[in-house]
Amino acid sequence: MTQPIKNLDEQGWVANAAVREELLDASNATIEEAVELADPMVLRGLIYQLTGDPQIAATTIVMGSSTGFTGGMEPTPEAEALIRRKAAEFLKSYRDRGAGELGIGPMDRLPQSMTLTMGKDIEPDSYDLWLEELALNPWSRGLEWSREPSERVRDFSVTIIGAGMGGLNAAIQLKRAGIPFSVIEKNEGVGGTWHENRYPGARVDTPSRLYTHVFSADYSYPYSFCPWTENQKYFDWVADTFDVRGDITFKTEVRSLVWDEADSMWDITVDGPDGVRTLRSNAVITAVGFLNRPDLPDIPGVERFNGPSWHTARWPAEFDPTGKRVAVIGTGCTGYQMVPELALEAEHVTVFQRTPQWLFPVPGYRSPIPPQVTWLDRNLPYHTNFMRLRVAGGFSAGFGPIAQIDPDFHDEHAVSEINKGARDNCIAFLKEKLGDDEDLIETMTPEHPVLSARPVIVDSEYSFLDTIQRDNVTLVVDGIRGITEAGVETENGEVHEVDAIVYATGFKATEYLFPMSITGRDGMTVEKLWSETGAQGYVGAMIPGCPNLWTLYGPNSNGGLLVPAFQEMETYYALKCIERLVLDDKRSIDVKDDAYRQYNEMIDERNQNMAWSDPRARNYYWTKFGRSATQNPLTPLEMWNFLREPNFAHLDVR
């Protein structure tokens, strides 16, 4: 990867890279070949930023032809040819000048350059959000002390629970701010969900260029959507590069948190190789996620099966599917990812589907990034930054509008015109793949509108739809009566004999912080607080009666911002609260009950206007209390504003 970015100086941001020897050795043909495979919208904004060329700024764009969340504006063929020619000329000139340090150019040019890449005007009040996503400043989501902290900061300790994406970021940001911390991790390694989910086909459904922390925007991912192996490599790289692995206690699980009002400290009971012990700290940041506790189905006879069975999050490394008959129960995102890969190796796969899901085809979802594009990552300064911006703009813009209910739009299958357009694209993909098989098309068409349940991103060339047409795959839609010694029995009495059963049945998604017990101020327990509402949080990060406790990816943090950004911003929010405690010599900070209630009432009201409120969907979003504990209906800017500056009028600081 290239070197980090320097601080802002009078000329702007500077790529502090050593001389790019690879570029110095590149021929004109190598440069032209790489530029030909680049995203022209990325080149449009980046080359304009570096050159100020008015011809690039004047290029015309039109609505692109790609489908799904990442579609957007594209240059006309004439404009694209000009952009690529200008980019090749720039790279050749940069090579011939020595391919050394290069400034980003005038900062007042950036808004237009970002607009040229995103293909839409950037509203002035959202400029700072997108500038953060551009990641020119790797520490834009880190704490900058408003004044020099007192010696007290050395005595203020934070315990982080979890060493996945959110926990590692919290550790690095606390370390950078000079705040003492420790991390407790239940697994034997970092990575969180990617340490646990290692089933065939496991990969991200967020573009990998966004599945990095802002401080790692230059990290070179080999896939647009990386498999679990590459995600694990990234988190290991983060832990080692920023030297926080030594601050993590592994194979240790937090059992309980108890607030000590007299000392303004948390007593943290943990269980690990050294047995049960109690730690103390001024503050706690939970980074345990919500898709981490397997949800095994209550099917009669599970214990009767003679062969091996397991949940996908507990995939046994020694299992070889070759020559085996495998049953897969469940067809959410995990099942739809796993079955196509499993079918390539197993003798036979029998898939038990209760509810079909909407599939969004993405070209190259399973394929490596072309080497010419990763070459540009290494040799075209700021290419990784503008690629990140391009993907962030397209991916974020696609989600919210498709899910928003238009009360004036009337269609039993869709919630708005744009939602219907997304559904039409999905139906077209079904028909493209399944041809004239009307029965199978009907079987694979969900009743619920698009985005009322989690959508599934799939490869446009090879996906679940191709797999269920293979000779060695059987799709079963009859209900399951029970498990027998030999396999799975359906309601029609048929027993599907198999050698192994895999449960792709998801997680206890709405049971946040489970199984920890948390006792806050005045003996209040989180379990009791949530007993009549289900899991709730203030800005997804605070719980009333739990001073100095922040949750990353907490209740209603799914949506609004993409997952990495949400966790970074919640960490930043926690750091700003800690800053207030340290600088003002205070002991505790807690969200006021009224602010907590009002925030959740607003979230609940807004969620009723989103596609996922449709009762036909079977999803993990909703609780028995009639509200969603997971979904966030706000726009990225709205959520970012909540987290960028804490509203201390909503907080009780003592």
Distance CA 159, CA 269 (A): 12
From the centroid of its chain, how far is CA 84? 32
pLDDT band at 16 (very low <50, low <70, confident <90, very high): low
Radius of gyration of the chain (CA): 26
Q: Residues 175-192: pLDDT tens digits?
A: 999 999 999 999 999 999
Res 511: pLDDT: 87
Predicted model pTM: 0.95
Lowest average pLDDT, out of 289-293, 446-450, 459-463, goes to 289-293
Count of beta carbons in the 10 Å neighbourhood of residue 429: 20
Q: Residues 575-608: pLDDT tens digits?
A: 999 999 999 999 999 999 999 999 999 999 999 9
Res 252: pLDDT: 98
Q: What is the mean pLDDT of residues 240-252?
A: 98
Q: What proportions of the chain, in percent to the nearest 5, are helix, strand and coil?
A: 40, 20, 45
pLDDT band at 18 (very low <50, low <70, confident <90, very high): confident
Q: Residues 278-310: pLDDT tens digits?
A: 999 999 999 998 877 888 999 999 999 999 999
Q: What is the mean pLDDT of residues 564-568?
A: 96
Res 68: pLDDT: 44
DSSP of 289-321: -SS-SB-----TTGGG-SS-EEEGGG--TT---
Residue 23 predicted with pLDDT over 80: yes
Residue pair 422/399 in contact (Cβ under 8 Å)? The answer is no
Res 298: pLDDT: 93
Residue pair 203/337 in contact (Cβ under 8 Å)? The answer is yes
Q: Residues 295-354: pLDDT tens digits?
A: 899 999 999 999 999 999 999 999 999 999 999 999 999 999 999 999 999 999 999 999
Residue pair 242/525 in contact (Cβ under 8 Å)? The answer is no
Res 470: pLDDT: 98
Strand, helix or coil for residue 481: strand
Q: What is the mean pLDDT of residues 36-60?
A: 98
| Domains of the chain, first to last | 14-140+373-394 (no CATH), 151-290+511-653 (3.50.50.60), 302-366+408-503 (3.50.50.60)
Residue 436 predicted with pLDDT over 90: yes
Q: Residues 412-435: pLDDT tens digits?
A: 999 999 999 999 999 999 999 999
The larger pLDDT score, comparing residue 46 to residue 400, is at 46
